Structure 1
Amino acid sequence: MGSNKGFMVVFSLLGSMVLMFLTIHEWYIHKQKTAQVSIKEQKLRKDLLRKPCADVNQSLVNLNKIDLNNFIVDDKHGILYCFVPKVACTNWKRTLVALKHGEPYPNPMSFKGDWVHQWGKFRFLRQLPKAEREAKLKHYTKFLFVRDPFVRLISAYRAKMQKYDQYFYDGYVRPILQQYKNQTNLPLSYKEAMEEGFHPSFYNFIQYIVDPQTETYAPFEPHWRQMHRLCHPCLIEYDFVGHQENLQEDAQQLLKILKLENAIKFPPSYENMTSGNSVMEWFQGVPIEDRRKLYKIYEKDFQLFGYRRPTELLDD
């Protein structure tokens, strides 16, 4: 009887070990397949960039003619990051700030969002002499993260039109309310304006963007400026193109390429992040003519970064 019990215990232990081995094996296979899919996906994304850019002179000489305001340099790890506002840029800046410290790296989330947006925390490509810029562009790992252009636009509206500070109130909210909502006698203080509930509608925001006078007066503010105009993918050959829609997986894959996957963890996404599922609802109050004008403005972003044309918004 005792020997039977012993046999059952041994058999049970063997069974558990076999099950554990199979689980680990399945996890390893899954990890390998995921890595293969990520490599294949990166190739597709980079190929997508090359086709429309084939006719563009990609000489680095042309970099003197463009702004490099959004390129952060990390000399310690050989990284060049072009940040796109409203595409996880706060969390990438947090990560880069953490990487400036020695190992073990601090948790990126320990750095406050307002703190990481202070320009003095980073070294920018625009600050470097021409020869040094060109050397880093050739040898460093260059990456950017992109997002569905219309979803990014909604996110920009939520962040800067519904919740604004004095800068955005003076430069954008107040003029939009005056021009497209015919509101007069607006408060001078953004706090007072917020308390009284002054906000442009999403349609007012779109009216402002599609108005030809907007770009004539000044370039788009970076939060809604086209992604290709911020990061110049036809002049700079990126090593990694991440998508916000696949943020955590892409971030992990990039950290692996940088040999940092075991040293630092990319912060989790915000719970209130703008979803692509509600795009139709946001655009219900926007006439189809203005939707089409808007698409023309952001069409190159859709094409370069592999986002489908939103036919449900643009076709009768």
Structure 2
Amino acid sequence: MGFPGTWMTESESVVYRVVPKCACSTIGQIMYFSDHGEFFDGDIHDATSGMHKWAIEESHQPIMNNVREHTSYAFTCVRNPYTRILSSFFDKICGIQRNGKRYRGNLVPMLIQKYGIEVGGEDGKEEFDQIKSFRRFLLFARDTIRWRRPMDPDIHWSAMSGHISTFIVNGGQYDNIFWTEAFNDGMQQVLDAIETPHAVDLAAIPRFNESEGHGPKRAHPVEDYFDDLSMHLVYEIYKKDFQLFKYDFENPGNKMPIGEIDLDEVHAKLGD
């Protein structure tokens, strides 16, 4: 199995388990900058050199050796499940991707046909009932996660605990898991704990939101998208995420965590 979704600086100063839709573009660019003193020119997900990634064959051995020996500080970052699934909908389902096409080719036409969702027309710019379409997308997301149909779940809406567990199950150990909602505090803790070839001034780092502008703007407050049934579906899909990362299931309008993440609990519950 190895360590899918794991990135490591070439200097091996730090190891990061990517969780999609949780500030991964910004974190990747910070790691790249900490080694090279400059940002990667483009989307960091497209970088095939300058950083170790599990997706790159030659990086397998260095990552495996480091993670299994716990040579370097290892971390990841999480996000409120309500805002994460909403973001996935607007970016991946309603939005036009970097290549000028719809995400995953025939996925959106299939959703329009089978689940009756709307996405704002050809370019995602037309008015449509965002709340109704999002709730139908939520049914689809649940179907993919519970029954793996009409397709396997996508990394952008599969549970964070699933991503995070592969690192633990295969012999990794996290030193830090922090919240996207308190990004500067969490990222600063990581930077304070490691030594990098180039100093990183977090206050001067831009936010690399690669999904920004892909799709229509959210027209309503977060809580308006989730009625009682939607909340039930979200809990069915993301129960572990709410429990382990201390988010408020009862109130979709509260994106902030309501407790502290217990790393021992995370390792115990996701290490089976």
Q: Structure 2 length as normaliser, TM-score? A: 0.70
Distance in 2, matches of 1:297 and 1:280, equals 17
Distance in 2, matches of 1:159 and 1:129, equals 30
Whether the aligned pair in 2 keeps the contact of 1:209 and 1:294 (CA below 8 Å) is no
Larger Rg: 1
Q: Deviations over 1:124-171 (max 9, x none)?
A: 246455696144332121110101111111111121122123251624
Which residue does 1:265 correspond to in 2? Answer: 201
What are the equivalent positions in structure 2 for 1:1-316 lying under 5 Å apart? 64=1, 68-101=3-36, 105-106=37-38, 108=39, 111-112=40-41, 114-121=42-49, 122-125=51-54, 127=57, 128=59, 133-137=64-68, 138-165=70-97, 166-168=101-103, 170-181=105-116, 193-194=122-123, 197=126, 201-211=133-143, 215-232=148-165, 234-235=168-169, 236-260=172-196, 263-266=199-202, 267-269=205-207, 278-284=221-227, 288-310=228-250
Q: Runs of 5+ in structure 1 lacking a partner?
A: 1-63, 184-189
Whether the aligned pair in 2 keeps the contact of 1:210 and 1:290 (CA below 8 Å) is no
Whether the aligned pair in 2 keeps the contact of 1:255 and 1:261 (CA below 8 Å) is no
SS at match of 2:223: helix
AA at the equivalent of 1:81: Y
Q: Runs of 5+ in structure 2 lacking a partner?
A: 254-272
Query: What RMSD over aligned residues (CA atoms) do the two structures have, in Å?
Result: 3.6
Q: Deviations over 1:158-201 (max 9, x none)?
A: 21122123251624222111111188xxxxxx998227849772
Change over 3 Å in CA distance of 1:85–1:258 after alignment to 2: same
1:93 Cα deviation after fit:
1.3
SS at match of 1:94: helix
AA at the equivalent of 2:229: E
Distance in 2, matches of 1:99 and 1:92, equals 11
Q: How many residues align?
A: 231
Distance in 2, matches of 1:204 and 1:141, equals 41
Structure with the higher fraction of residues in helix conformation: 1
SS at match of 1:117: helix
1:294 Cα deviation after fit:
2.4
Whether the aligned pair in 2 keeps the contact of 1:226 and 1:301 (CA below 8 Å) is yes
Quote the sequence identity (%): 20
Q: Deviations over 1:216-271 (max 9, x none)?
A: 44432111121121121653320111111110111112111113598112324479
SS at match of 1:123: strand
Whether the aligned pair in 2 keeps the contact of 1:208 and 1:214 (CA below 8 Å) is no
